Amino acid sequence: MIAALHRNPLAVIATLAVSGALLWLMAHLVTVKPGVLFWISVLVLWALVWIGNDALSGISTLSPVATRFRNLAVPAIFGLTLLLLWQLVVKGFGISPVFLPAPSDIWVRFSTSFATLKADFIQTFLRAVLAGWAIGSLAGFLVAILCDAWGFLRRGLLPLGNLFAALPIVGVAPIMVMWFGFDWQSKAAVVVIMTFFPMLVNAVTGLEASGHLERDLMRSYGASYFDTLIKLRLPAAMPFIFNALKINSTLALIGAIVAEFFGTPIVGMGFRISTEVARFSLDMVWAEIAVAAIAGSAFYGLIARKQGERGDVQHEEISDGRGGDRGIDGWNGLGLCRGGDDPAQMGDAGPVCRLLRG
Amino acid sequence: MTLVATASRPSLPAALAAGSTLPVAIIVLITIVIWYAAAVPMNKVLTQPLIDAAGGGLLNTLSISWSLPRPVLPAPHQVLAELWNTVFTVEPWRPRSLLYHCWVTLSSTLLGFVLGTILGVALAIAIIHVKALNRSLLPWIIASQTIPILAIAPMIIVVLGSIGLTGLLPKSLISMYLCFFPVTIGMVKGLTSPDPMQLDLMRTYNASTSQVLWKLRWPSAVPFLFTSLKVAIAIALVGAIVAELPTGAQAGIGARLLNGSYYGQTQQIWGALVAAAVMSSGLVWLVGFIERRVARAMGAET
């Protein structure tokens, strides 16, 4: 049956559509403690969706456009199935919303508390995150230029930058709250410190990325330091700088939210999460998390897209192991870059994924 | 040959200046000087009446600014004194001791790190062997990291607490959640790093899937594993610290930070920060140390 599916895209789509729709219907109709037959049919439908999705991922006779669509659809179907199962399990087993609210409840809460969520979003994201991210990244970039011009500073600051990038910097939040007050300025300050070092380390590395040949050429043109910087070395550094901007976008959101645990005015995403948790209204917490996830992904995606528009093909190559000389002693040619490029927090596994897809 | 080497060896000061030791030392020194200088204006709000009462003067200003019990910015020696008092003058099992709090945080960090590494490696092995998982699970794992997981930390702690799960395990679960991702990504890359030629050779040997895994894929993945582990252990510590914030802050580095913040104990906050920094760099160094030993044992060029 699976082999037959592989040869017939239409059958795959039909299987997915029918089993998905039935699963959707069941998630809508489910009541507390349904019979065994119900759960068996859920499992069967889930298996069908799974097989369909597997077949979809295996179809190799697609046009490039369809392939791109397919590569988006496979994880999306997986995610939607997970949401449906979440809904089915929570409702079917009558799990208390104090433990885990159903996606439908979270959605209801999301739409009814939209005004609160919006105010929190403005306070945390539009004020603290964006300001801190911009100031921190800019400061890191400017210091990187200074480091580049003055080798002594680079040799002194870069090891410290690498050290700081691994430290739990978010711990400075209580100090910043003490210095800059309860409002968003203190959160922005935490974000500034968190985003400074990744940008510094990446930009310094990027400024060294242009080849000797190109630099020699610029010298033979009689180009000044600034000409070389602006026309050759900054463009060569752009993939690294964008990489740092992406890392910083995720760091900034986490930093601002966690910093709010240490004291805020009565608005903000971190404040809302900590107070609603204390009141056991987890649907609101999940709604806030959804906002954070959407905002974070959109922010990240926007920067990645700007980078894409610049046509930085170098990027993949770099995060695929050109950072080999950084932090990987003894091993030859290693994948993940160290020193601020914290893949766990940056979530930047796009290149890895693309690599795996071939 | 030896002569040339001796002749071209630079003098000690020159060698220091060319390396990064001297620049780092100078920058650290400058930072300390700026730190001391900044303590004067930053503490001015608190010190002004005291200085006026003491009759002013530079000496009074400095000594008062650098010895406040609850300064806005403590001087470096005050932080050191705080560390000395909380590390060496109290028995390490007392809640007043910083070592006690370090151990609380460290134990959940390490448990989470071990669990996260096991989960990460298991996921990676599953992903490279099952094609459907590769396409459907991996993007979802990546998507899971777009959720600022540290923000959920309070919720996980409270929810697990409501079903009677308290203490070490909930905190470790947060560290685990943070840890497994870099390990999975690194290991998927590492396990797929052998080139087709080597895989073909294994096929000509009629090697089974598990033989390919243990004799080819795993050894090639070890360097990737260690790079991921260095990242993972650092964030495991961050996870453990943040997870300590909502638990009513009884013990741990996070609790020290929160308590210090509540009661305006600046020196306690700084002491906890230094402890966190020392633990973080120590753990990363330890993983690096094991990495070098393993590399040597496996015959890597150093």
Q: Specify whether B268 is located in the same domain as B177.
A: yes
The answer to whether position B91 is within a domain reads no
Domain hosting B257: range is 98-297
Residue B30 lies inside a defined structural domain of this protein = yes
Per the CB < 8 Å rule, is A269 touching B151? yes
Same domain (yes/no): B39, B103: no
A45-66 average pLDDT score: 80
Q: Is the pTM of this model over 0.90?
A: no
Shared domain for B27 and B123, answered yes or no, is: no
User: Mean pLDDT across the stretch B193-205?
Assistant: 91
Structure tokens, B3: 């002569």
What is the Cα–Cα distance from A33 to B271, expressed in whole angstroms? Answer: 53
Are residues B136 and A277, on separate chains, in Cβ contact within 8 Å?
Answer: no
Contact B186, B211 (CB under 8 A): no
Say if B161 falls within a structural domain.
yes
Q: Quick one: B182 and B240 in the same domain? A: yes
Looking at B20, B55, B72, the residue that finishes a domain is B72
Q: Do the domain assignments include residue B203?
A: yes
The answer to whether residues B151 and B293 belong to one domain is yes
Of B142, B159, B302, the CB nearest to A347: B142
Do B49 and B194 lie in a common domain? no
User: From residue A57, how far is each of A48, A75, B78, B133 by CA, in Å?
Assistant: 14, 10, 61, 10
Give, for A135, the enclosing helix (H) or strand (E).
helix A130-149
Do B258 and B138 lie in one domain? The reply is yes
Q: Which of A39-48, A253-262, B128-137, B255-264 has the lowest mean pLDDT?
A: B128-137
Mean pLDDT of the B85-107 span: 83
C-alpha triplet A297, A298, A303: angle, nearest 5°: 100
Q: Is B274 helix (H, G, I), strand (E, B) or coil?
A: helix
- CA B290 to mean position of chain CA atoms: 16
CA A121 to chain CA mean position, Å: 17
Torsion sign over Cα B22, B23, B28, B32: positive
Q: In which band, very low, low, confident or very high, does the pLDDT at A329 lie, cut at 50, 70 and 90?
A: very low
Contact of A98 with chain B, judged by CB distance below 8 Å, is answered with yes
Predicted local distance difference test score (pLDDT) of residue A131 = 94
To the nearest 10°, the Cα dihedral for A77, A81, A82, A87? 140
Chain position carrying tokens 């930047």:
A348
A271 pLDDT more than 60: yes
pLDDT of residue B14: 65
Q: Which position has the token pair 């659809």?
A: A73
Please give the pLDDT value at position A70.
81
Q: Distance between CA atoms of B155 and B141, rounded to whole angstroms?
A: 20
> In chain B, pLDDT over 90 holds for what percent of residues?
20
Higher model confidence: residue A247 or residue A355? A247
Residues 167-226, chain A: which have Cβ within 8 Å of B?
Answer: 167-168, 170-175, 177-179
Whichever domain contains B216, its CATH number is 1.10.3720.10
**Model pLDDT, residue B117:** 95
**What b-and-e string marks burial along A199-234, b requiring 16 or more CB atoms within 10 Å of the CB?**
bbbbbbbbbebbeeeeeeebeeeebeeeebbeebbb
On whether the CB atoms of residues B241 and B104 are closer than 8 A, the answer is: no
- A110: helix, coil or strand? helix
The pLDDT score that the predictor gives to residue B125 is: 92
The predicted pLDDT at position B231 comes to: 85
| Interface-testing mutation among B165, B195, B220, B261, with chain A (most A C-beta atoms within 10 A) | B261
| pLDDT at B200 (0 to 100) | 92
Q: For residue A76, count CB atoms less than 10 angstroms from its CB and return exposed for 0-12, middle for 13-18, buried for 19 or more.
A: middle
A352·B182 Cβ contact <8 A: no
* Cross-chain Cβ contact B242/A289 below 8 Å: no
What ipTM was estimated for this complex? 0.78
| Number of continuous H segments (helices) and E segments (strands) in chain A | 18, 0
**Are residues B141 and B181 in contact, defined by beta-carbon separation less than 8 angstroms?**
yes
Which pLDDT belongs to residue B3? Answer: 44
Is the same domain home to B159 and B24?
no
* Percentage with pLDDT > 90 across chain A: 13
| Mean pLDDT for all residues in chain B | 82
Percent with pLDDT over 70 in chain B: 88
| pLDDT tens by residue, A236-246 | 888 889 888 98
The yes-or-no verdict on residue A115 having pLDDT over 50 is yes
- The confidence score (pLDDT) of residue A347 equals 34
Q: What span, in angstroms and rounded, lies between the C-alpha atoms of B259 and B171?
A: 18
Whether the pLDDT of residue B112 is over 90: the answer is: yes
Burial of residue B4, with CB atoms counted within 10 A of its CB: 0-12 exposed, 13-18 middle, 19 or more buried? exposed
* Cβ pairs A/B, distance under 8 A: 249
Question: Are residues B160 and B25 part of one domain?
Answer: no
Most confident of A214-223, A300-309, B81-90: A214-223
Q: Give chain A's mean pLDDT.
A: 78
Cα gap B234→B244, rounded to integer Å: 16
Query: How far is residue B118's CA from residue A78's CA, in Å, rounded to a whole number?
Result: 24
Q: Which amino acid is at A71?
A: N
Provide Rg for chain A, Cα atoms. 25
- Whether A252 contacts A132, CB under 8 Å: yes
Which stretch, A58-62, A135-139, B173-177, has highest mean pLDDT?
A135-139
Q: Which of B17, B234, B242 lies at the smallest CB-CB distance from A166? A: B234
For residue A22, the model assigns a pLDDT of 86
* Cβ-based neighbours of B84, under 8 Å, separated by 6 or more: none
Tally of structural domains, chain B = 2
- Decide which of B55, B72, B89 is a domain's last residue: B72
Q: What is the pLDDT of residues A5-37, one digit of tens each?
A: 666 777 788 888 888 888 888 888 777 777 888
Could you tell me if residue B302 is inside a domain?
no
Quick check: is B193 in a domain? yes
In a domain, B79, yes or no: no
pLDDT value at A86 more than 80: yes
**Interior/surface letters B110-131, b for 16+ CB within 10 angstroms, e for the rest:** bbbbebbbebbbebbbebbeee
Nearest CA in chain A to B244: A261
* B273 & B132 share domain: yes
pLDDT band at A311 (very low <50, low <70, confident <90, very high): low
Mutual angle of helices A269-278 and A114-121, in 10-degree steps:
130
Predicted local confidence at residue A348, as pLDDT: 38
B23:A178 CB<8 A: no
Mean predicted confidence (pLDDT) in B6-24: 66
Q: What is the pLDDT of residue A130?
A: 94
- Read out DSSP for B144-167? HTTS-HHHHHHHHHHHHHHTT--T
Q: Are residues B12 and B68 in the same domain?
A: yes
Quick check: A88 pLDDT over 70? yes
**A326 to chain B: nearest residue by CA?**
B227
Whether residue B243 is found in the same domain as residue B152: yes
Q: pLDDT tens for residues A169-213?
A: 888 888 888 888 888 899 999 999 989 988 998 898 888 888 888
